[in-house]
Chain A
Amino acid sequence: MTDASMDNPTPARSRSLSQTDPNTRRRNAAERRFRAYGMAAILVGLFFLTVLFVSIVRSGLPAFTRTVVTVDFTLTQEQMDAAESELFKTKAYSNLFIASLQEQLQQRGMTVEFDEAAIERLLGKVGGTLRAHYQANPDELSQPVAFELAASSRVDGYFKGRVQRETLQDSRFLQLSDLDLVDALEEAGIIKQAFSWAFITGADSGVDNPGGAGIGASVVGSFFMMLVVLVLSLPIGVAASIYLEEFAPQNRFTDLIEVNISNLAAVPSIVFGILGLAVFIQFMHLPQSAPLVGGLVLSLMTLPTIIISTRASLKAVPPSIRDAALGVGASKMQAVFHHVLPLAAPGILTGTIIGLAQALGETAPLLLIGMVGFVARGYPEGFVEGFTEPNSAMPAQIYTWAARADVSFYEKAWGGIIILLAFLLTMNIIAIILRRRFERRW
């Protein structure tokens, strides 16, 4: 290299371009390393996301099925009269049911010994169910009626692998001999797993009946709360942001307000919960456990989020648009409402939906205002009464289930999480679609 440059009149470079100097090599290596770190971080994130997703689906899917016993049962008027004349009426119905079941098993050539106690362990108090049904529908007497009875949570667990023959200890809930009966019924096609609409539409049940618990009531509760949040926080939040961003003078007072809004967004939600308890329930005497109060509390929480995102999207509108509007003689308000706000709308919508999604998943404040552990009376009419009737919300319901002793509730909690995530995903997708749709370029 240096030899060649001696004859060359132009000033020589010390090195050829095809040789990389150590400095360049170091920089390139650093860049490669940084990319590798980034890739690794994303892969780790994806791995955990997959693990989370798989475990949620695996643990949650069983909640959507339940074990049911379908029995064709016929009751004649004489049988009913006879049963009604006995001292223990439901026991009489129960005996009729057992006889019918045994007959059906024998028809298929199976003989299994079982008594009334075994049936009660499997299916609960069948006699009472039958009696109530025929008293309500006397016209169905003397004709075959297909009864679909939910099996107890232990039997359900046997089907889902939670309860195993080897480890089962006889208890008043389930005995080893009952499993023989369950196997026989399964072989006969009388007991099987079916998709459980009751989980999606139903209300929570008592602690001793995990099979009957559903998330429907709390979905409705959450829906009412979201309505309250939307109706309150969207107009208030957007109006406050427009005022602060476009009209308010810059002074100490507005600075103070700004700092406080930013701080409010970071306040733990439980603080809003106890505020709601003190102000809305103890001071204003609004009904406890009601979606109205829940919505009010969640509105307080969502307002800062909406205000911050709305102000950000108002700021993002180029000032030249405001100048243009003012320049042709629009008033400040016309400039904002005709030009700035439409351009900021996609951002405002996105912020609002994300705020709502955050509110939808919030649990802590609801625990404090009593929207938890609610069992609907008179389901299904009991829970749809509106904003002021006691209700629960999805995350609070999941929390309640997870805290209960019976393991079948654990499965319900996972199932509830699947539903909650489905709602959140839907809301986020709507946010993305709205943003794409209304986004305008300038």
Chain B
Amino acid sequence: MNDMTAVDKTVETQRTKIAAQNVNVYYGDSHAIKDVNVEIEDKTVTAFIGPSGCGKSTFLRCLNRMNDTIDICRVTGDILLEGEDIYAKSVDPVQLRAQVGMVFQKPNPFPKSIYDNVAYGPRIHGMAKSKSDLDDIVEKSLRRGAIWDEVKDRLHAPGTGLSGGQQQRLCIARAVATEPEVLLMDEPCSALDPIATAQVEELIDELRENYSVVIVTHSMQQAARVSQKTAFFHLGNLVEFGPTGQIFTNPEDPRTESYITGRIG
């Protein structure tokens, strides 16, 4: 749990996957996100940290328009995925969410079999032409979710019967099954024990090879361990964004320093 490991991280600069420009989010009258500008890179783990209620989850949910399901939520500004505005009128959020997958705080497998959990996304998007195609996708996704070896003999057992950590990795496998470009993770380890957390973190590091991963976390140690870039949110503002090593060792903003040294938050 040594934060200083972050210093050693080499950060290669990748091309920009998601660019947020002057994003503001309002819940009714309250101003939840204030003028956020951030560039999320491909094949990089970006961590959002900050005290509770600072808007990091809200901002994460803007990236795949999950906030659309909340009536009173209003988003202004531009969020560009590969240069395309995801809030443009012509964009269908359903299509967007297939490309920007999401893993939630609490493991939420469908009360169906492990196989059906993973196969659901590919099925509704018509990604498999035949049963064997679908079998391949399920196997590949479960392997990417680092859970294949544990469940390959009981693919038709209910997904809800797995342990918490296994369920969360199943949810990650389900998210990658639709071949997304970006994976959003909203505190994916907060309901898990330390061993399961370690497994999921290891998995996140592997996922970086193929995806741009954005993770919201309460744990600064976790951010330091898994991310290359870190964004610190405070009261709806993006206070500081930069390479993880720099944020944790040499923050520019006094608020960031206070937070990571434990004085606020």
Please give the residue numbers on chain A whose beta carbons come within 8 Å of chain B beta carbons, in ascending order. 249-250, 318, 320-332, 334, 338-339, 343, 440-442
Contacts and interface: CB of A to CB of B under 8 A. Distances in A.
Nearest to B106: A320
A327 B66 contact: yes
Given A321-B110, A323-B66, A441-B111, A328 B98 contact: yes
Given A250-B71, A324-B171, A442-B160, A329 B97 contact: yes
B104 A327 contact: yes
B120 A320 contact: no
Contacts of A442: 111, 160
A330 B66 contact: no
Interface of B: 64, 66, 69, 71, 94-95, 97-98, 101-104, 106, 108-111, 120-121, 124-125, 160, 171, 174-175, 177-178
A328 B121 contact: yes
A329 B71 contact: no
Q: Which 10 A-B pairs have the closest CB atoms?
A: A329-B98, A328-B121, A320-B108, A327-B102, A329-B97, A324-B108, A442-B111, A331-B94, A440-B111, A250-B71
Given A250-B71, A326-B69, A441-B111, A338 B106 contact: no
B101 A327 contact: yes
B160 to A, nearest CB: 6
Max chain B Cβ within 10 angstroms of own Cβ: one of A318, A326, A329, A442:
A329
B152 to A, nearest CB: 21
A329 B121 contact: yes
Nearest to B99: A329
Nearest to A328: B121
Contact of A329 (B95, B103, B104, B171): B95
A239 to B, nearest CB: 21
A51 to B, nearest CB: 45
A325 B171 CA distance: 11
B108 A328 contact: no
Contacts of B66: 323, 326-327
Given A323-B104, A441-B160, A442-B160, A329 B125 contact: yes
A442 B103 CA distance: 17
B71 A334 contact: no
Contacts of A343: 111
Contacts of B174: 324, 328
B102 to A, nearest CB: 4
Contact of A328 (B71, B120, B160): B120
A130 B175 CA distance: 83
Contact of A338 (B103, B120, B125, B160): B120
A327 B108 CA distance: 11
Contacts of A321: 108, 110-111
A436 to B, nearest CB: 16
Contacts of A339: 110
Contacts of A249: 71
7 contacts: A324-B108, A324-B174, A327-B102, A327-B175, A328-B101, A331-B94, A338-B120
A343 B162 CA distance: 19
A329 B108 contact: no
A389 to B, nearest CB: 47
A352 B108 CA distance: 29
Contacts of B120: 325, 328, 330, 338
Contact of B110 (A324, A332, A441): A324
B120 to A, nearest CB: 6
Nearest to A251: B71
Nearest to A248: B71
Given A327-B102, A330-B120, 17 more contacts: A250-B71, A321-B108, A324-B174, A325-B120, A326-B97, A327-B64, A327-B66, A328-B124, A329-B98, A329-B121, A329-B125, A329-B178, A332-B69, A339-B110, A441-B111, A441-B160, A442-B111
